[in-house]
Amino acid sequence: MSLNAESTAFRSALEVIRAVEPRVADAIGAELADQRESLKLIASENYASPATLLAMGNWFSDKYAEGTVGRRFYAGCQNVDTVEALAAEHAKELFGAAHAYVQPHSGIDANLVAFWAILADRVESPALKKAQVRQVNDLTEADWFALRRELGNQRMLGMSLDAGGHLTHGFRPNISGKMFDQRSYGTDPATGLIDYDRVAEAAREFKPLILVAGYSAYPRKVNFRIMREIADSVGATFMVDMAHFAGLVAGKVFTGDFDPVPHAHIVTTTTHKSLRGPRGGMVLCGPELADQVDRGCPMVLGGPLPHVMAAKAVALAEARRPDFADYAQRIVDNAQALAEGLVRRGTKLVTGGTDNHLVLLDVSGYGLTGRQAEQALLDSGIVTNRNAVPQDPNGAWYTSGIRIGTPALTTRGLGVAEMDQTAELIHTVLSQTQAGSNADGTPSKAKYVLDPALADKISKQASELLTGFPLYPAVDLG
């Protein structure tokens, strides 16, 4: 029997790898098997298409390509120019953006490019003006001191971590927290929703250079029109990190006030997650910031990864197809069905539901920490990640929450009926898991007790649920 193109491609690739390091080939095959058998509910993960995956494994990996299209510091980049220009073209058309920069290696890199572009555009200082008109080598040590002082003493206002914000929005463990004097806005303690009046009040008091919107664990829409009005009222640059919900913007599920591109000065995103592309980042902006953004390499980034830009071009082309809009809507439909199924079973959800692709469970009602719940679910074939909830008493490591999302399962074809079954599996595991104790008898935030027979039963049920929705059905590794 002849094999299809996808099976031939991946089998051949593994054979070539196996000839050099069989353990790597085995790990790649095992990863596919694990993903096929598990209920993947991590909100930031998805399944890229075979075309996108294959676009990353080629000779573009061998190229250095510092610079931008038509302005490289290395010769022989004409083919890199082609794929980078295609990726940018698809991004601009897909999101309605004036300019797209597709070189960032990750979401963090995209944010750093945006931060430095804003700083270079907005901060007025003698040292910065010297840096813009003179060669870097001509700057004196005093110039550098003044430049560091100006660029490192600006203010950023972003969403707090426990309310659903991200480390790259000005928090100390990340470089953004060392670059900026940062303050956070949270959510209403009663509803878990953004209180725009309070955000405006914080902006008036703090007067940030940058107002950041976007999230990694906020299960509702954000009104970007209002956020832009707040930014304008204090003269701030409005930046949106849409890494998590870019697919919902691309699929026209988020439009009008909930589409960040028409409202923000600059937008960053990853290209995986709900956008279903390769792991990487991207920056969208207007012409006023385009020149600064295009200096991302070498300002912040190392050499571009041409093979990943090629994969971005493929994935963005896929997202421009009509069926992607249907996919994006099904992501939200599934997330809402999953949330409703959990609520019916007595699970407490932050904000009581969802408007987007993710659901945030408060597992304290089960008597568990997020870490205990995460591991108990993993034992049962359900892959999630623990996450802080607003005012979390267990902090960011143990947490009181579990974050789940539907992009990956929606890619596999699961629908509303399967989401209710998934809610039942989750509830069964959490309701049958008990918090454990340390060796001295004190309560543990990490240890837990779950009957292995129950975990095995749920794992088999999860696998059976997935039987009708094969992952990469065209790929047969033999």
Residues that are catalytic: 64, 66, 241, 270, 273, 279
Closest CA to 448 of 389, 376, 386: 376
Q: Which residues are annotated as a binding site?
A: 161, 165-167
> What dihedral angle (degrees, nearest 10) is formed by the CA atoms of 394, 396, 397, 399?
40
Asked if residues 393 and 445 have their Cβ atoms less than 8 Å apart, the reply is no
The 10 Å Cβ neighbour count of residue 322 is: 7
Reduced 3-state DSSP string for 54-75: HHCCCHHHHCCCCEECCEECCC
Closest CA to 68 of 299, 344, 276, 232: 299
What's CA 101's distance to the chain center, in Å?
17
The structure tokens listed for 383 are 């892959």
The structure tokens listed for 17 are 């790898």
Tell me how far apart the alpha carbons of residues 77 and 83 are, in angstroms, rounded to a whole number. Answer: 10
Closest CA to 389 of 358, 416, 419, 418: 358
Is residue 442 packed enough to be buried (19+ CB in 10 Å), middle (13-18) or exposed (0-12)? exposed
Q: How far apart are the first and last CA of the chain?
A: 12
Q: Which residues are annotated as a binding site for (6S)-5,6,7,8-tetrahydrofolate?
A: 161, 165-167
Strands (E), 169-275: 180-185, 210-214, 237-241, 266-270
Q: Is the dihedral of CA 441, 445, 447, 450 positive or negative?
A: positive
Phi, psi of 423, rounded to the nearest 5 degrees: -60, -40
Scanning 235-364, the segments in alpha helix (DSSP H) are: 246-250, 287-293, 296-299, 306-319, 322-344
3-state secondary structure of 390: coil
Closest CA to 260 of 242, 281, 234, 279: 242
Tell me how far apart the alpha carbons of residues 303 and 273 are, in angstroms, rounded to a whole number. Answer: 23
Helix (H) or strand (E) holding 68: strand 67-68
Tell me how far apart the alpha carbons of residues 28 and 31 are, in angstroms, rounded to a whole number. Answer: 5
> What dihedral angle (degrees, nearest 10) is formed by the CA atoms of 388, 391, 393, 394?
20
The structure tokens listed for 23 are 């353990």
Residue that the structure tokens 């571009």 belong to: 304
Angle between helices 5-20 and 22-37 (to 10 degrees): 140
